[in-house]
Amino acid sequence: MKKLLMILVVFLAIYGLETKEAQAVRVTIKVTTGSGSDCSGRGICNISIEIAFRTAPAGGSTTQVTDGTAEVKGDKLYVTLTKGLSDMAANERGVKSVSIKRPQRVNQDLAKQLGFNDLVILPSDYVMDGNSFVFDVKGSAASSPVKGAATMTK
């Protein structure tokens, strides 16, 4: 009986290791619209992705909060919102995009939720496609995802 139990445990452990794939992490996305250092005008000024963020920020109609998911596949971070952004997120050309000027390190807790010890969003202009952003990332994989609160900001 002990051998059977031990074999079962070993098979479950092997199965768990082999089937470990990227899982989407439930997040809340906060988008501040505007342009320039004071975030006035049109376009996306800042994006914040948080875990366990439940309240909308006080004041101003320039911030939109929505739920979504984030997951890493290969060298891409996919962030999908459950609903679209307001028209104020579109810049003068009518495009919803955010420009990241220098590498942005993702908060370590969020990186671990996504299965990484360290995760960096690479500089580029990222255009929203439907309800999703796809960010280029570079990171080192963790041995196992860890649950916890985290924030990523531009």
Q: What string of pLDDT tens digits covers the 154 residues of the chain?
A: 555 444 544 444 444 433 344 567 877 777 888 877 777 778 887 777 766 554 444 444 478 888 889 999 999 999 999 888 888 888 888 999 988 888 988 888 888 889 999 999 999 999 999 999 999 999 988 765 444 434 344 4
Domain count, the chain: 1
- 147 within a domain of the structure (yes/no): yes
Considering all CA atoms of the chain, what is the largest pairwise distance in Å, rounded to the nearest integer?
A: 71
Domain that holds residue 32: 22-153
- 95 within a domain of the structure (yes/no): yes
- In angstroms, the CA 129 to CA 107 distance is 24
For residue 146, what are its two tokens?
Answer: 């860890």
- 17 within a domain of the structure (yes/no): no
Please name the residues in contact with 98: beta carbons below 8 A apart, sequence gap of 6 or more: 44, 46, 47, 125, 126, 133, 154
- 119 within a domain of the structure (yes/no): yes
- 60 within a domain of the structure (yes/no): yes
Taking CA atoms, 37 is separated from 31, 33, 46, 50, 91, in Å, by 15, 12, 11, 22, 15
- 38 within a domain of the structure (yes/no): yes
- 3 within a domain of the structure (yes/no): no
- 8 within a domain of the structure (yes/no): no
Q: pTM higher than 0.75 for the full model?
A: no
What residues pair up with 26 in beta bridges, in sequence order? 69
